[in-house]
């Protein structure tokens, strides 16, 4: 069995935040999910996560196939592993919820390690805050935490990444013997080194090639630095692959986003979640896209889109809002101050100004006039609006759902549509206009007589 156990029970005191550390996001993805996804990418049979502090805020982030263990009080990394004792069998790789950049290749490498304990180490120019690897005759003899280190040990630049591979029997042997006699009074998993060596077990180290991949997040400043570094790496890789990023400093693309070569990302653009931006699409400026697919030659300008599929040759924005469940076919135009939610817009639909389309299905080439509102909510439930193809909805129409408008129908401006409209009918749902001839002149005359 190959198992990954992720420790994520700590509060992260140094974050100075009421929220647990691991829910803080890096490019739209919580820290903990970075580690979970690495474990999933590796050849892992089973993943476990140890939660504790603020567990109720962390639960929603955890996929259903990941086992959850609770550490009642956060008294150290060894105690956290102990909370998952039932999970330990076969080869176990320990990862941290606050060390997000480790690669799945390294995890696979650790799965194959032969020693009873293998420590992943790194050389850091500023090793402050990390446990140091202490060696004798070239062999690791112990790990000493910053707090417990002498000045000589503090000078050591080889640090403990906190990532290890254990065979489960050796791990349990060490867990049963770790004590909390250190400055913090915590049960340190790092003490496993001395305990295993004393018991005649084999402890080895492997040095990671890219030290940035084991950087932990302990403070808000470290989080900001990490976000910046990851953002730069992702932007550089995208530019190398033929994506135009006009201003990389203000462009943020999440790790699970695909941007095809030829796409253009304009300043102040954020693309997160599982989004895909096709070739020749242009996104931004000032646009946020989360979990969306954007087609070829589509422009999204100064807009906010989430959970939506947008076809080819569309124009979205400026100032449009697409909410989850929106499906937009090719050649659609969505303009300023238009909000679309859970709706299907067929080819060639135009809705250019000041509109709300919710729970609606709209046929090909239909024109939605300015100020149209689908009144989808009756205070109890959401109701659907069906509009056929080639319909002309006049400006300022309220469509009171559930309601159907047939193909080719025309709705007069200012109508409140409460009944279905047959195909090719003209629907007028407004008060008839009344003109009173010369009413203004008479009114003026009457009021001057009174004076
Ligand atoms: C730990 C290591 C240190 C290493 C560093 C690498 C120990 C004693 N120290 O220090 O050698 O250089 O990681 O980043 O292991 N956690 C729990 N329960 C607890 C305590 C911590 O689940 O009771 C979890 C935290 O949520 C976090 C991880 O373990 O994800 C590491 O804890 P943290 O307090 O950040 O340890 P460090 O001081 O960074
Ligand atoms: Mg840490």
Q: Would the CB of 131 count as within 6 Å of ligand 1?
A: yes
Atom 16 of ligand 1, nearest CA residue: 10
Find the helix packing angle between 31-41 and 104-111, rounded to 10°: 50
- 31-71 pLDDT per residue, tens: 999 999 999 999 999 999 999 999 999 999 999 999 999 99
Say yes or no to pLDDT of 187 above 90. Answer: yes
List of residues 6+ apart from 249 with CB closer than 8 A: none
Is 353 annotated in the active site?
yes
155 and 246 together in one domain:
no
183 and 252 together in one domain:
no
Q: What is the DSSP letter of 15?
A: G
Collapsing DSSP states into helix, strand and coil, what is residue 388? coil
C-alpha torsion sign, points 205, 77, 41, 245: negative
The arithmetic mean of pLDDT across residues 68-95, rounded, is 97
Collapsing DSSP states into helix, strand and coil, what is residue 243? coil
Collapsing DSSP states into helix, strand and coil, what is residue 190? helix
Q: How confident is the model at residue 449 (pLDDT cuts 50, 70, 90)?
A: confident
Domain with 46 in it: what CATH number?
A: 3.90.550.10
198 and 246 together in one domain:
no
- 396-440 pLDDT per residue, tens: 999 999 999 999 999 999 999 999 999 999 999 999 999 999 999
Distance 80 CA to ligand 1 centre (A): 10
| DSSP code string of 203-223 | EEEEE-S-GGGG----SHHHH
Atom of ligand 1 nearest to the CA of 97: 30
- 364-387 pLDDT per residue, tens: 999 999 999 999 999 999 999 999
The arithmetic mean of pLDDT across residues 170-179, rounded, is 98
**Residue 78, in any domain of the structure:** yes
List of residues 6+ apart from 151 with CB closer than 8 A: none
Atom of ligand 1 nearest to the CA of 79: 23
18 and 149 together in one domain:
yes
Q: What is the pTM of this model?
A: 0.92
Ramachandran category for residue 267: left, alpha or beta (phi over 0 → left; psi -120 to 50 → alpha): beta
Distance 256 CA to ligand 1 centre (A): 27
Distance 216 CA to ligand 2 centre (A): 5
391 and 325 together in one domain:
yes
208 and 229 together in one domain:
no
197 and 268 together in one domain:
no
The arithmetic mean of pLDDT across residues 278-285, rounded, is 97
Range of the domain at 396: 220-427
394 within 8 A of 415, measured Cβ to Cβ? yes
The number of residues in the chain equals: 451
Q: Would the CB of 143 count as within 6 Å of ligand 1?
A: yes
Domain with 383 in it: what CATH number?
A: 2.160.10.10
201 and 242 together in one domain:
no
- 303-324 pLDDT per residue, tens: 999 999 999 999 999 999 999 9
121 and 241 together in one domain:
no
**Residue 138, in any domain of the structure:** yes
What's the pLDDT score for residue 11?
81
- 217-243 pLDDT per residue, tens: 999 999 999 999 999 999 999 999 999
**Domain termination site, one of 214, 239, 256:** 214
Say yes or no to pLDDT of 451 above 80. Answer: no
What's the pLDDT score for residue 201?
98
Q: What is the mean pLDDT of the chain?
A: 97
* Whole-number Å distance between alpha carbons of 145 and 147: 5
* Whole-number Å distance between alpha carbons of 15 and 103: 24
């Amino acid at each position: 069995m190959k198992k990954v156990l992720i420790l994520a029970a700590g509060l992260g005191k140094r974050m100075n935040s009421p929220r647990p550390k691991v829910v803080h996001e890096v490019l739209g993805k919580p820290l903990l999910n970075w580690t979970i996804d690495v474990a999933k990418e590796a050849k892992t049979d089973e993943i476990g996560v140890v939660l504790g502090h603020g567990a109720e805020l962390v639960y929603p982030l955890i996929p259903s196939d990941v086992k959850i263990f609770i550490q009642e009080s956060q008294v150290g990394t060894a105690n956290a592993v102990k909370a998952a004792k039932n999970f330990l069998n076969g080869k176990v790789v320990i990862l941290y919820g606050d060390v997000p950049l480790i690669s799945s290749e390294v995890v696979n490498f650790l799965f194959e390690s032969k020693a009873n304990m293998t420590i992943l180490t790194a050389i850091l120019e500023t090793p402050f805050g990390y446990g140091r690897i202490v060696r004798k005759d070239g062999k690791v003899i112990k790990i000493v935490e910053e707090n417990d280190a002498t000045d000589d040990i503090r000078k050591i630049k080889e640090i403990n990444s906190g990532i290890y591979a254990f065979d489960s029997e050796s791990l349990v042997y060490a867990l049963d013997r770790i004590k909390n006699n250190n400055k913090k009074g915590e049960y340190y998993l790092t003490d496993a080194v001395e305990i295993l060596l004393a018991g005649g077990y084999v402890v080895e180290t492997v040095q990671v090639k890219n030290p940035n991949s084991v950087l932990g997040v302990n403070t808000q400043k470290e989080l900001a630095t990490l976000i910046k570094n990851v953002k730069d790496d992702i932007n550089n890789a995208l530019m190398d692959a033929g994506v135009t990023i006009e201003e990389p400093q203000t462009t943020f693309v999440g790790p699970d986003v695909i941007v095809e070569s030829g796409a253009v990302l304009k300043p102040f653009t954020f693309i997160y979640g599982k989004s895909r931006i096709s070739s020749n699409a242009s996104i931004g400026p000032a646009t946020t896209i989360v979990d969306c697919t954007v087609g070829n030659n589509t422009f999204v300008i100064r807009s906010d889109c989430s959970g939506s599929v947008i076809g080819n040759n569309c124009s979205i924005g400026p100032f449009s809002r697409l909410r989850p469940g929106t499906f937009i076919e090719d050649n659609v135009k969505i303009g300023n101050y238009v909000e679309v939610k859970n709706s299907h817009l067929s080819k060639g639909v135009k809705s250019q100004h000041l509109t709300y389309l919710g729970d609606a299905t709209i046929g090909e080439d239909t024109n939605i006039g300015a100020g149209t509102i689908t009144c989808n909510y009756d205070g109890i439930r959401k109701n659907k609006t069906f509009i056929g193809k080639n319909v002309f909805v006049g400006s300022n129409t309220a469509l009171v759902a559930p309601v159907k408008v047939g193909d080719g129908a025309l709705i007069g401006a200012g109508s409140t549509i409460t009944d279905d409209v047959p195909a090719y009918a003209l629907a007028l749902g407004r008060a008839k206009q009344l003109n009173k001839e010369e009413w203004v002149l008479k009114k003026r005359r009457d009021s001057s007589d009174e004076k």
